């Protein structure tokens, strides 16, 4: 290692460790954020507030309501306030779902007619809305099917021959995350996000701060090469980032029970490549910023789309076709693929060759671009 | 060739504004060269071009054998620079700053450590080595910046207002340290707006609005660029005397100093006219001929420019 590169790294580490707030930002903040966001970014839907408007008031109607509320997906918030306008309870936020059982429900069932049951669902949050309507339909279809069985039996008895009703028995077996807990899926994504924010902003601000303070002028007048200076400035953040990932793994496995099925070495390699990309983006931002404020603005300008187009929040496959290719320029996307692949599926470098190659190309390219843009001159 | 700095027709513009206009001069080995000028005259812009930090708009400059436009990194290896704003890391100790900048100059290991010890000794900073630079008083801080600029034994030292905002005693100490260095063969280029500091320079260039107006030794400047005669008038009635003197034909400048007035009168000699008017206004006034100072040179050149 060149003595100049080593000198820059030494200096960066000294400044970093002396600045308590910086240390908190680099070590404590990511861990806390993962802890909090891991709980917050939870797409497991249950405990959907449900009001009922039972105009039938029979044993059958009560049984229908009890059944819907049985497994905890829906919880009872009591009868709807006005059965003439059941939507009111959804509008004022008292309930997300209103079950409307009209007068005559039991009578219709008993006489073999189709009984109309209405389920009103709040679609404001599509995730909850979709889940609620599908859970309610599943339940009501099941009730309906159970109702048909005695009739079929009676029919076959009357016909004197067995009537065969073909059915498909479905037994899905869910791999990798059998309980389908969203935390296991979200925690790797949130880790990638937090790591992006911390390392990009810290590197983007580092150079801008030196420019503002005037120390960069004193550095520029030494014969240090641009790459020694810039690499020396970002390497410490790569090392801190690796440490952050280690902490994230600890929090992820202990608090959120995220499995570690693959090799830590593969994860380490992926993290190094990813961090090279994030600090490279930070460097690039700092070469176009004069002040720390501009660096922060530039950082957010880049990070917002990087996070939204990463597949952390929403699946990339659900994005419109023209937008999907944009995610190929996004290192967060690839690191999330590596994290999820290694942790949840135990995938190796060969399985994940696409994201590995992408990051191995992106990181050095963006760092080289930043070094090329940087000028050891004023104005 | 013993010229360590050769500047010819150097210009620098920022947009349409010309900060440095057609400047030429040479500085020889072992010389202390002073650049004198008001704020905004273009001193820092010149020094930054000579350090390879700013690309000249036109003209050329060769410093210690390297062309500042074509080989700025070559220049940087041979020079030490102290910028006008304190620009070492305030959150690092003196030693840590020197350790970093020495490394940036390619020094390492034992060689670096012994160089740091040497400059700390040379500048009397031994016992400050573990202090944060932000905790140092102004004078010590400037000496650390000088130590930093000397780490790699440069041929030329560029000091941009090195003593700005420092108390007079520390300023004298600082200049003495620079002179000691120069006596050992280093060349120094410094900018200042303290006239007394300029007096210590072998030659002084005077910059006005981007132009190098005059350039010579301090004594030659004083002999050749202050037309007329100088007087100091001691009086308790400064207002009356000023009014009386202002009425005289040929009075070039009149300025308040300590307990009286400093007057330049051209055409010289005009002692009789000055004394006559002053005594008429205040019979107790004392009129004495005065020596020209660099300050007078500066005023005379700026006045001439204004006309
Ligand atoms: N980077 C820059 N961009 C625009 N104008 C500048 C820049 N640097 C200096 N100037 C202008 O050039 C002039 C000379 O500045 P400078 O060389 O710093 O003067 P001095 O050091 O003599 O006080 C000033 O008017 C200043 O505003
Ligand atoms: Mg200046």
Q: Are residues A235 and A115 in the same domain?
A: no
Nearest residue in chain A measured CA to CA from B45: A378
Domains present along chain B, CATH in parentheses: 3-219 (3.40.50.300), 227-291 (3.30.70.100)
**What pLDDT, in 10s, does the model give residues A122-173?**
988 888 888 889 989 988 888 888 888 777 788 888 887 777 777 777 777 8
Closest partner residue to A378 (CB to CB) among B53, B88, B101 is: B53
Q: What is the CATH number of the domain that holds A126?
A: 3.40.1710.10
Question: In the predicted model, is pLDDT for residue B1 greater than 70?
Answer: no
- Distance in Å, CA B171 to ligand 2 centroid: 17
Q: Which structural domain range is residue A256 located in?
A: 3-42+182-378
Q: Pocket residues for ligand 1 (CB within 6 Å)?
A: A 379; B 14, 19, 37, 39-45
Helical pair A226-255 and A353-373, crossing angle rounded to 10 deg = 140
- Shortest distance between the Cα of A233 and any Cα of chain B, in A, equals 12
Q: Are residues A222 and A149 in the same domain?
A: no
Is residue B52 within 8 A of residue B76, CB to CB? The reply is yes
Q: Which residues of B touch A224 (CB under 8 A)?
A: 104-105
Interchain contact, B14 vs A379, CB within 8 Å: yes
- Looking at residue A166, what is its pLDDT? 72
Q: Are residues A253 and A111 in the same domain?
A: no
- Looking at residue B268, what is its pLDDT? 57
In a domain, A175, yes or no: no
In a domain, A166, yes or no: no
Q: Give which of B64, B75, B100, B132 to mutate to test A binding, by max A Cβ within 10 Å.
A: B100
What 8-state DSSP symbol labels residue B143?
H
Nearest CA to ligand 1 atom 6: B14
Q: Are residues A300 and A344 in the same domain?
A: yes
Closest partner residue to B105 (CB to CB) among A18, A223, A378 is: A223
Q: Are residues A37 and A55 in the same domain?
A: no
- Collect all residues from A whose CB is shorter than 8 A from any CB in B: 3-4, 6-8, 10-11, 14-15, 18-19, 213-215, 217-224, 229, 376-379
Q: Which residues of A touch B96 (CB under 8 A)?
A: 11, 14
Interchain contact, B53 vs A213, CB within 8 Å: no
C-beta atoms surrounding A126 within 10 Å:
8
d(CA A26, CA A20): 10
In a domain, A99, yes or no: yes
Number of A:B CB contacts under 8 A? 92
Q: Are residues A198 and A324 in the same domain?
A: yes
In a domain, A168, yes or no: no
Mutation probe of ligand 1 site: the residue of B10, B11, B14, B57 with most atoms within 8 A of C-beta: B14
Mean predicted confidence (pLDDT) in B120-141: 94
Average pLDDT, chain B: 90
Q: Are residues A226 and A286 in the same domain?
A: yes
ipTM, two decimals = 0.91
Q: List CB-based neighbours of ion ligand 2 within 5 Å.
A: B 44, 84
Q: Which of B261, B226, B232, B264 is nearest to B248 (CA)?
A: B264
In a domain, A173, yes or no: no
C-beta atoms surrounding A305 within 10 Å:
14
- Distance in Å, CA A41 to ligand 2 centroid: 54
Q: Average pLDDT for consecutive 10-residue bins of chain A (379 residues)?
A: 91 94 89 85 81 92 91 89 90 91 90 88 88 89 83 80 73 75 84 93 93 95 96 95 94 92 96 97 94 94 94 88 93 96 94 96 96 89
Q: Are residues A103 and A27 in the same domain?
A: no
Question: In the predicted model, is pLDDT for residue B269 greater than 70?
Answer: no
**Of the ligands numbered here, which is closest to the C-alpha atom of B54?**
1
Q: Are residues A232 and A345 in the same domain?
A: yes
Q: Are residues A83 and A146 in the same domain?
A: yes
**What pLDDT, in 10s, does the model give residues B60-112?**
999 999 999 999 999 999 999 999 999 999 999 999 999 999 999 999 999 99
Interchain contact, A11 vs B96, CB within 8 Å: yes
**What pLDDT, in 10s, does the model give residues A280-332?**
999 999 999 999 999 999 999 999 999 999 988 888 998 999 999 999 999 99
Q: Please state the three-class secondary structure of B278-305 as a single string.
A: HHHHCCCCEEEECCCCHHHHHHHHHHHH
Q: Are residues A12 and A152 in the same domain?
A: no
**Of the ligands numbered here, which is closest to the C-alpha atom of B42?**
1
In a domain, A174, yes or no: no
Nearest residue in chain B measured CA to CA from A211: B87
Residue ending a domain, choose from A159, A194, A229: A159
Predicted TM-score (pTM) of the model is: 0.85
Q: Which of B109, B95, B169 is nearest to B138 (CA)?
A: B169
Structurally, how many domains does chain A consist of?
A: 2
In a domain, A167, yes or no: no
Q: Which residues of B touch A22 (CB under 8 A)?
A: none
**What pLDDT, in 10s, does the model give residues B285-307?**
888 888 888 888 888 888 887 77
In a domain, A12, yes or no: yes
- Looking at residue A148, what is its pLDDT? 80
Q: Are residues A97 and A147 in the same domain?
A: yes
């Amino acid at each position: 290692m060149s003595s100049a590169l080593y000198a820059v790294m030494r200096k960066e580490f000294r400044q970093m460790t002396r600045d308590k707030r910086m240390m908190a930002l680099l070590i404590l903040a990511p861990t806390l954020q993962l802890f909090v966001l891991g709980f917050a970014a939870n797409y497991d839907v249950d405990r959907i507030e449900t009001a009922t408007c039972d105009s039938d008031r029979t044993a059958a109607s009560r049984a229908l309501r009890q059944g819907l509320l049985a497994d905890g997906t829906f919880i009872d918030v009591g009868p709807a306030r006005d059965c003439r306008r059941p939507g009111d309870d959804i509008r004022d936020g008292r309930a997300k779902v209103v079950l409307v059982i009209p007068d005559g429900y039991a009578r219709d069932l008993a006489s073999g007619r189709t009984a109309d049951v209405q389920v009103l669902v709040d679609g404001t949050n599509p995730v909850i809305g979709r889940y609620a309507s599908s859970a309610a339909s599943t339940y009501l279809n099941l009730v309906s099917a159970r109702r048909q069985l005695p009739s079929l039996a009676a029919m076959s008895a009357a016909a004197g021959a067995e009537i065969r009703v073909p059915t498909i028995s479905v037994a899905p077996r869910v791999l990798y995350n059998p309980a389908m807990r969203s935390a296991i899926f979200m925690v790797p994504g949130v880790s990638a996000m937090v790591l992006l924010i911390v390392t990009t902003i810290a590197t983007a601000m580092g150079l801008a701060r030196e420019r503002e303070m005037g120390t960069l002028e004193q550095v520029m007048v030494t014969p240090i090469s641009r790459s020694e200076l810039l690499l020396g400035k970002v390497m410490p953040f790569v090392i801190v980032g690796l440490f952050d990932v280690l902490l994230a793994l600890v929090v992820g496995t202990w608090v959120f029970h995220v499995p570690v099925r693959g090799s830590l070495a593969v994860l380490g390699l992926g993290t190094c490549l990813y961090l090279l990309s994030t600090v490279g983006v930070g460097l690039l931002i700092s070469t176009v910023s004069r002040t720390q404020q501009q660096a922060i603005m530039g950082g957010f300008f880049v990070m917002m789309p990087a996070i939204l187009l990463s597949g952390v929040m929403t699946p990339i496959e659900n994005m419109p076709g023209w937008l999907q290719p944009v995610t190929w320029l996004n290192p967060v996307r690839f690191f999330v693929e590596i994290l999820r692949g290694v942790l949840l599926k135990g995938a190796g470098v060969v399985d994940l060759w696409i994201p590995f190659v992408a990051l191995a190309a992106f990181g050095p390219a963006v760092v080289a671009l930043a070094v090329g843009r940087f000028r050891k001159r004023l104005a | 060739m013993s010229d360590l700095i050769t500047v010819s027709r150097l210009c620098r513009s920022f947009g349409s504004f010309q900060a440095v206009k057609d400047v030429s001069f040479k500085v020889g080995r072992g010389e202390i060269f002073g650049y004198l000028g008001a704020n905004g005259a273009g001193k820092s812009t010149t020094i930054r071009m000579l350090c390879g930090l700013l690309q000249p708009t036109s003209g050329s400059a060769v410093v210690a054998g390297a062309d500042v436009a074509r080989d700025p990194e070559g220049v940087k290896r041979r020079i030490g620079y102290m910028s006008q704003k304190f620009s070492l890391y305030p959150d690092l100790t003196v030693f840590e700053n020197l350790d970093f900048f020495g490394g940036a100059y390619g020094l390492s290991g034992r060689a670096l450590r012994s160089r740091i010890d040497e400059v700390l000794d040379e500048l009397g900073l031994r016992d400050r080595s573990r202090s944060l630079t932000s905790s140092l008083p102004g004078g010590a801080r400037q000496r650390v910046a000088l130590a930093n600029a000397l780490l790699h034994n440069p041929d030329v030292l560029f000091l941009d207002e090195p003593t700005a905002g420092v108390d007079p005693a520390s300023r004298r100490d600082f200049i003495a340290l620079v002179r000691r260095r120069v006596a050992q063969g280093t060349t120094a280029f410094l900018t200042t707006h303290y006239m007394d500091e300029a007096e210590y320079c072998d030659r002084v260039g005077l910059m006005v609005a981007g132009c190098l107006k005059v350039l010579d030794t301090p004594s030659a400047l004083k002999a050749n660029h202050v037309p007329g005669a100088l007087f100091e008038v001691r009086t308790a009635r400064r207002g009356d005397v000023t009014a009386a003197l202002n009425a005289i034909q040929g009075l070039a400048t009149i300025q308040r100093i300590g307990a009286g007035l400093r007057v330049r009168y051209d055409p010289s000699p005009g002692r009789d006219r000055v004394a006559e008017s002053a005594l008429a206004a205040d019979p107790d006034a004392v009129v004495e001929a005065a020596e020209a100072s660099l300050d007078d040179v500066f005023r005379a050149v700026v006045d001439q420019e204004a006309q």
